[in-house]
Amino acid sequence: MITQKTLTLPVYSRGIHLVTNLIVNELGNLPEVGLVNFFMKHTSASLTINENADASVRTDFQNFIDKLIPDNTSYFTHKQEGKDDMPSHIKHSFIGTSITIPISNGKLNLGTWQGIFLCEFRDKAKNRTIVITIYS
């Protein structure tokens, strides 16, 4: 059985944000066993799973990825929308477009330290829409 819903997230500033609770609250009743796919309908933001307990992980992550794929990369030509545009697209493909999480005993089967991160790569962020598909 497949169920699907669309979720529009609030606007987040450029950075890495823990959104586990926000997303879990939208899921409603889950099947006993299954899988859920969260698909980001944008090319300059990503979802990823990482350490949920210490906010310094998010800060260090952001600083690292901003230095690895810098806004001021001299040879980028895709820059009509600003110097953060092309780096955002590259970050998107490195981190990915969707995440898949198993459902067990009616809950997301995340490890103790796993949380869902929204990675907002743009300076002037917009609402981001994700498609949630649950199959069981």
What is the DSSP-derived secondary structure letter of residue 84? T
Q: How far is CA 108 from CA 11, 29, 46, 100, in A?
A: 24, 11, 19, 10
What is the DSSP-derived secondary structure letter of residue 29? S
Residue 20 interacting with a copy of itself (CB under 8 A): no
Min dist CB 25 to a copy of itself, Å, is 20
Point out which span in 7-15, 22-30, 70-78 binds a copy of itself (CB under 8 A).
70-78
**Dihedral sign for Cα atoms in the order 30, 26, 107, 104:** positive
Considering the complex, state which of residue 98 and residue 123 has its C-beta at the smaller distance from a copy of itself.
98
Residue 51 interacting with a copy of itself (CB under 8 A): yes
Residue 75 interacting with a copy of itself (CB under 8 A): yes
Locate the DSSP E strands across 1-136: 2-8, 15-18, 33-40, 45-51, 98-104, 107-108, 114-120, 129-135
Report the interface residues with a copy of itself, using CB under 8 A. Answer: 2-4, 33-35, 37, 39, 41-43, 48-51, 54, 56-57, 59-61, 63-65, 68-69, 73, 75-78, 86, 89-90, 92-102, 104, 109-111, 113-114, 117, 129, 131, 133, 135-136
